[in-house]
Structure 1
């Protein structure tokens, strides 16, 4: 496995727009003979999932007042808050056709390392969360394209939890489905659970220690690295301009819709906004924190023009590979949501 430092001219980068562009560039244009590991730490930011409605996930007043950067990533899942106390990891590898949504495969190295540092209660719970004592410290997501796969996640090491609470707007039914009443009651930092010998660490120290555990070495000298070149940086900046630093990508226009539906389904939260004219779906947008392959706009295009009846919606969904786009969802769940 190769390790990639998010550094340019020896200086570490904390701009989320650039760090996510590095991810996307490595996935699309750098294919080495072994998997790639990337770590990065972002300044205050909110990273929303590929299919989420940014305005519904972000407390825009808090974001504007506190200079929080909002960036849309390329994977599904929910919105997460980053600051200098959050370490982000990313594994990039060939897509073997069996690993998408297999979060255990990619989080096990992190869990094993935490166990070695004294966090005995760290474990994968539910769909994609890492928890300690039933409190979440990591959310994970995946994205696959052109035979390549990235699995990435956050590690709340010593984050400002109060900022997390204020910056995000979790949907009430999402909280209710987990049997909890607030973000504050369901998240935690890793640092308090570490052995005493690790309590001196900040997020960067934690990254360095985690790196040694993952590569099973006592020194970084034995770790293989891929160093980003100036040619690489030209392409990374181009990706940022087109996507992660682009307002249209991060927010996008949100046209007015007559009908809105939002439910917690078996695959996560799915939200639908649509206009129905003369008994047919005239326009539709689908949002959510589900994990799917492909572009959700393809499903939206298929649904436009469909008669707004239970029978017609069922028939239309039966022509769509819904598990590809949404995950292990039942067609009738989607029909009930829309109708």
Structure 2
């Protein structure tokens, strides 16, 4: 994922310890270009947080270039259960991450470039950044028809979205980040960003579906490496060709003191799932058992990613009200995730009377619950 050496000079140097900050002082007051050597989404998102929190952006602008292994990244105020296919992602080993900025859900892989523009809040200008990206693309393909929209997306041929955008505004500093679809897995992208879950009622920020297309599918010369080179070159032009690209290793404390804790926070269940705005699930379901179809209804309220209340309605001749009550009461307070529900039901089965029929029915209900998570 390194940029080609004929375009820019790389200096792989630790940054931003007190000693190193002084070394970059005069350069940073104008412009600084950083490129991540990592494809770990949590590490790269942590770099964004670190720069936002620790760098003096009043006197310098920073461009951060990064790519990730397959990941779905949701916005700060989004609900992963309504935004993506969590079952498919678990099966294929695709990560889920929640970023600090708002905006919609995006799919990342090594064919998708991420660009983060850091400035002071008063210099923040998303449209100016997008125009820089457009100039970079046109330097590679002059007849390319790509335009910025009022939603701060980039459209190819007036139809296909090739870049999504989001931002975070602090008290005095800000950043704007956008994606660029160069050669992402176009067969995987649409299916992982399609939620299969129904019956969910949520006030979380929804994504706006769009037609997408890879730049390289339209123009094979627009590879990730070529595009990153062009963007870096265009950014350098703003500062009289002064900023070189500095390759950084996000997990190294010598580069970013204290970043390990930021990475850990972004990996936690409490952040990825627990920050989901409160939502409810109303679901009717059927269970086929011993030649008969049993109709059931499930009502769950979820707050901070945990089950706040649960109501399970089943025919009393199939499962007693006492058994239903015991099961639903045990679910309250647990995390809304398959692993925890399976563990909880397994533990509950060990403590209940050794009745094979009851165990079978509870296991079937457990499978129903897991199917909506």
How far apart in 2 are the matches of 1:161 and 1:226?
A: 31
User: Which residue in 2 is equivalent to 1:115?
Assistant: 138
Q: 1:26 to 1:81 in 2, by over 3 A?
A: same
Q: Corresponding residue for 1:62?
A: 88
Matched, 1:106 2:129: yes
Per the alignment, residue 235 of structure 2 pairs with 214
Per the TM alignment, residue 47 of structure 1 is displaced from its structure 2 partner at its CA by 0.7
Q: How far 1:210 sits from its partner (Å)?
A: 2.4
1:27 counterpart = 2:18: no
Provide the aligned C-alpha RMSD in A. Answer: 3.1
Contact preservation (8 Å) 1:139, 1:153: yes
Mapped partners of 2:151, 2:232: distance in 1: 25
Q: Of 224, 248, 253, which residue of structure 2 is paired with 1:230?
A: 253
Residue 316 of structure 1 corresponds to none
Q: Measure, in 2, the Cα distance between the counterparts of 1:44 and 1:56.
A: 19
1:22-171 alignment to 2 at 5 Å?
Answer: 22-32=47-57, 33-96=59-122, 99=124, 102-118=125-141, 120-133=144-157, 134-169=159-194
Task: Tell me the distance in 2 between the aligned counterparts of 1:90 and 1:227.
Answer: 15
Cα distance in 1 between the residues matched to 2:228 and 2:275: 37
Distance 1:61 1:3 in 2: 37
In structure 1, runs of 5+ residues without a counterpart are 7-11, 173-181, 260-272, 276-282, 284-339
Cα distance in 1 for partners of 2:279, 2:35 equals 43
**Paired position in structure 2 for 1:313:** none
Distance in structure 2 (CA, Å) of the matches to 1:123 and 1:200: 19
Please list the CA deviations of residues 71-121 of structure 1 after superposition, one character each: whole Å capped at 9, or x if unmatched: 10111110000011000000001001x74xx53122110011112222531
Deviations 1:52-73 (A, max 9, x none): 0111111011100111111101
Query: 2: distance between equivalents of 1:54 and 1:258?
Result: 14
Contact 2:70 2:109 in 1 (8 A): yes
- 1:204 is matched with 225
Comparing 26-35 and 154-163, the one that deviates more: 26-35
The change in CA–CA distance for 1:75 and 1:212 in structure 2 (over 3 A counts) is same
Given that residues 140 and 153 in structure 1 are in contact (C-alpha distance below 8 angstroms), is that contact kept between their aligned partners in structure 2? yes
Alignment of 1:306-317 (within 5 A): none
Structure 2 contact 253–259 (Cα < 8 Å) conserved: no
CA contact (8 A) 1:142 1:151 kept: yes
C-alpha distance in 1, partners of 2:87/2:235?
Answer: 40
Distance between the aligned counterparts of 1:103 and 1:213, measured in 2? 16
**Secondary structure at 1:3's aligned position in 2?**
strand
Following superposition, which runs of at least 4 residues in structure 1 exceed 2 angstroms of deviation? 169-172, 199-202, 222-234, 253-259
Gap runs ≥5 in structure 2: 1-30, 199-207, 283-299, 303-307, 309-373
User: More displaced, 72-81 or 111-120?
Assistant: 111-120
Residue number in structure 1 paired with 2:34: 4
Find the aligned partners of 1:15 and 1:138 in 2 and give their Cα distance: 20
How far 1:204 sits from its partner (Å)? 2.9
TM-score (norm 1): 0.63
**TM-score normalized with structure 2 length:** 0.58
Q: 1:209 to 1:226 in 2, by over 3 A?
A: closer
Per-residue deviation, 1:126: 3.4
How much does 1:46 deviate? 0.6
Question: Are the aligned partners of 1:55 and 1:251 in contact in 2 as well (CA < 8 Å)?
Answer: no
8 Å Cα contact 1:240-1:246 kept in structure 2 = no
